[in-house]
Amino acid sequence: MINTLKYQSQAVAKPYFIAAIGLFVGQVLFGLIMGLQYVWGDFLFPEIPFNVARMVHTNLLIVWLLFGFMGAAYYLVPEESQRELHSPKLAIALFWVFLAAGVLTIIGYLSVPYATLAQITGNEFLPTMGREFLEQPTITKIGIVIVALGLLYNLAMTILPGRKTVVNVVLMTGLIGLAVFFLFSFYNPDNLVKDKYFWWWVVHLWVEGVWELILGSILAYVLIKTTGIDREVVDKWLYVIIAMSFITGIIGTGHHYFWIGTAEYWQPLGSIFSALEPIPFFMMTLLAFGAVGKRKRDHPNKATVLWALGTGVMSFLGAGVWGFLHTLAPVNYFTHGTQITAAHGHMAFYGAYVMIVITIISYAMPFLRGTGNAANRRAQFTEMWSFWLMTISMVFITLFLTGAGILQVWLQRFDDGQPFMVVQDKIAAFYWLREAAGVVFLIGLIVYIISFFVKSKEPAEA
Amino acid sequence: MSEIFSKSMARNIYFGGSAFFIFLFLGLTWHTVKVLPETDNSAALTEEVILGKKVWEDNNCIGCHTLLGEGAYFAPELGNVYKRFGNSTEAIKGFIKSRPVNGIPGRRSMPQFNLSEEELNAIAEFLKYSSEIDTSNWPPNIQG
């Protein structure tokens, strides 16, 4: 019995959050390996070639964010629905299935050549592997679908007989969308153009579509809890935010259809609509600052409020501004597939999805650990240090990659251009700086983990 | 946002806007797929090219390279490598075959994948096919 939890079944969120943080550490370590390989070409070669490190880096990111989303859902849905989770046992069973699938897949990447992994997992029967971010063996993908279906069933059986709020319905819609669009990862036509066209239905319609619903609903929930803002007001904002996400983001998929062999009308369509994609993120920034500025109570968990505000700002900068920088077709013609894309990817994922998961973890963990509605002041102080270390170092990672990208475009893409590897040598200084910023990010992450173990110096309250 | 703009209005924008743009997107997708053969070089999709795509995927080439600008940015663009290598499939095969097993000291190097002759032919034909997709004149120059 955990006294701080309104519904005991919310406790199933805890292992999800712990796994998320653990895999986050793995993701960052492999990011540092890759960053080093950019400047020290044969580092860990041929044991861990770059492509393997990158798979581990990106796949761990996806898996730990999914752990975070699922944990968030299991935590907030019972409270929003005002009843216990339909089946806590199912939630725990799915946790172990997902963790096993994730860990075994990573071990597979690291222990055998990728072609061998494809062979022993029977990729030839239903070839889905070897496409960016969808490198998982087909059997892992099936596992992900099973876990997602189990999650949706469990949540639906909780929400349907319970109280339906805008927050839990929007979250549920986002999670259903996540599961539906993932099914396109099983479609791998021989025609490369068609393959690429529908590959984006997973990748773009996740991060610039349905994931924004998950982000918006978690942010709305945390703001309601920490600032006491009226539900009516938040609901209205949430509807407009997700409306703008879909209105801009769906046709905005077209910014990926400029140069892959699809009809040319995607150039104006993709440019115009994706140029509007910053709007929902800007509205999230306004919502977060508005709610905190007009707060009706001072929640003792200051760290959570900081993370929530940070999500608003950094998602707008990373996804909105850095996305806009290279989204117009005439600009993208020169920047497509350069370090500019990497710069945008890093800040967008951190600002939007990493930060919202940390926000909900920061809010929920004190309740889940039974320590009250907030960690002690010293622990929060440590956590806020980790916020600034990680956020500022991510800003610098993004700036250095942007610098590398601008130079790369200039040297490689204009006039006759210089060969790829010649240019890579010339921009190595930026890669070194990025690696240094990456080390600071890891330090920030370590400080974040330490914050969970910082004890109060004040005498324990009765 | 006061009473003038009510919650149900916001909800209607969400439902109406989403539905409209989902259907527009489906319609555009239907049309895009219909006119795809004009640009996608699918006439060149031989059994060998299809095997080549499998070799491409089974060896996770996208983990280092870009193909039509998508993928990783660690190694050169391969959507136009056939043209960059002087319109030669032999040059592509020669490069893949010649990669040292233990890499090059201090430098980035492509792994040695030990492909069979059949696989080498297939991957080279796949890259030739890719280079002949009409990509609206991308990349800007031969360097990719």
CA closest to B25 among chain A residues: A251
Q: Where are the domains of chain B?
A: 1-38, 43-144
Residue A445 reports pLDDT greater than 60:
yes
Contact between B73 and A338 using a beta-carbon 8 Å cutoff: yes
Query: For residue A457, what pLDDT is reported?
Result: 83
Q: Is A3 inside a domain boundary? A: no
pLDDT band at A462 (very low <50, low <70, confident <90, very high): very low
Residue A33 reports pLDDT greater than 70:
yes
Residue A417 reports pLDDT greater than 70:
yes
| ipTM attached to this prediction | 0.97
DSSP, residue by residue, A306-360: HHHHHHHHHHIIIIIIHHHHTTSHHHHHHHTTSHHHHHHHHHHIIIIIIHHHHHH
Contact between B18 and A55 using a beta-carbon 8 Å cutoff: no
User: Which of A47, A48, A50 has the highest number of chain B CBs within 10 A, making it the mutation to test binding with B?
Assistant: A50
Q: Check residue B105 and report its DSSP letter.
A: T
Q: Is A72 inside a domain boundary? A: yes
CA closest to A339 among chain B residues: B73
Contact between A239 and B14 using a beta-carbon 8 Å cutoff: yes
Rounded mean pLDDT, A300-329: 98
Which pLDDT tens digit goes with each residue over B52-91? Answer: 999 999 999 999 999 999 999 999 999 999 999 999 999 9
Considering only the beta carbons, identify the residue of B40, B45, B54 that sits closest to A127: B54
Q: Is A255 inside a domain boundary? A: yes
Instruction: Find residues 397-426 of chain A whose CB sits inside 8 Å of chain B.
Output: 412-421, 424
Q: Is A128 inside a domain boundary? A: yes
Query: For residue A458, what pLDDT is reported?
Result: 72
Q: Is A343 inside a domain boundary? A: yes
pLDDT band at A300 (very low <50, low <70, confident <90, very high): very high
DSSP, residue by residue, A97-161: HHHHHHHHHHHHHHHS-HHHHHHHTTTTTS---SSTT--S-HHHHHHHHHHHHHHHHHHHHHHTT
CA pair distance A410, A368, nearest whole angstrom: 51
pLDDT band at B24 (very low <50, low <70, confident <90, very high): very high
Rounded mean pLDDT, A173-197: 98
Query: Rounded to a whole number, what is the distance in Å from the CA of A356 to chain B's nearest CA?
Result: 22
Which pLDDT tens digit goes with each residue over B86-113? Answer: 999 999 999 999 999 999 999 999 999 9
Residue A460 reports pLDDT greater than 80:
no
Query: For residue A2, what pLDDT is reported?
Result: 87
C-alpha distance from residue A317 to each of A87, A185, A233, A359, A390 (Å): 39, 29, 25, 18, 15
Which pLDDT tens digit goes with each residue over A318-336? Answer: 999 999 999 999 999 999 9
pLDDT band at A218 (very low <50, low <70, confident <90, very high): very high
Q: Is A82 left (phi over 0), alpha (psi -120 to 50) or beta?
A: left
* Strand bridging mode B70-71 / B66-67: antiparallel
Residues facing residue B104 across a β-bridge: B107
CA pair distance A456, A372, nearest whole angstrom: 13
Instruction: Find residues 39-58 of chain A whose CB sits inside 8 Å of chain B.
Output: 40-42, 45-46, 49-52, 54-55
Cα-based angle A374, A349, B143 (whole degrees, multiple of 5): 160
Query: For residue A297, what pLDDT is reported?
Result: 92
Query: Rounded to a whole number, what is the distance in Å from the CA of B47 to chain A's nearest CA?
Result: 10
Residue A420 reports pLDDT greater than 70:
yes
- CATH superfamily name and code, B43-144: Cytochrome c-like domain (1.10.760.10)
CA closest to B24 among chain A residues: A251
Which pLDDT tens digit goes with each residue over A374-402? Answer: 999 999 999 999 999 999 999 999 999 99
Which pLDDT tens digit goes with each residue over A87-97? Answer: 999 999 999 99
Contact between B138 and A419 using a beta-carbon 8 Å cutoff: no
Q: Check residue A12 and report its DSSP letter.
A: G
CA pair distance A67, A80, nearest whole angstrom: 20
Residue B1 reports pLDDT greater than 60:
no
pLDDT band at B2 (very low <50, low <70, confident <90, very high): low
Domain count, chain A: 1
Whichever domain contains A384, its CATH number is: 1.20.210.10
Which pLDDT tens digit goes with each residue over A239-295? Answer: 999 999 999 999 999 999 999 999 999 999 999 999 999 999 999 999 999 999 999
Considering only the beta carbons, identify the residue of A239, A419, A424 that sits closest to B13: A239
Cα-based angle A245, A312, A361 (whole degrees, multiple of 5): 105
CA closest to B56 among chain A residues: A130
Residue numbers of the domain that contains A223:
8-451
Considering only the beta carbons, identify the residue of B25, B45, B64 that sits closest to A191: B45
Q: Is A27 inside a domain boundary? A: yes
Q: Is A86 inside a domain boundary? A: yes
DSSP, residue by residue, B34-79: HHGGGTS-GGG--HHHHHHHHHHHHTTGGGT-EETTEE-SSS---T
Q: Which amino acid does the sequence have at A91? A: A
**Any B CB within 8 A of A232 CB:** yes
Query: For residue A459, what pLDDT is reported?
Result: 67
Rounded mean pLDDT, A128-154: 98
Q: Is A356 inside a domain boundary? A: yes
Q: Which amino acid does the sequence have at A449? A: I
**Any A CB within 8 A of B85 CB:** no
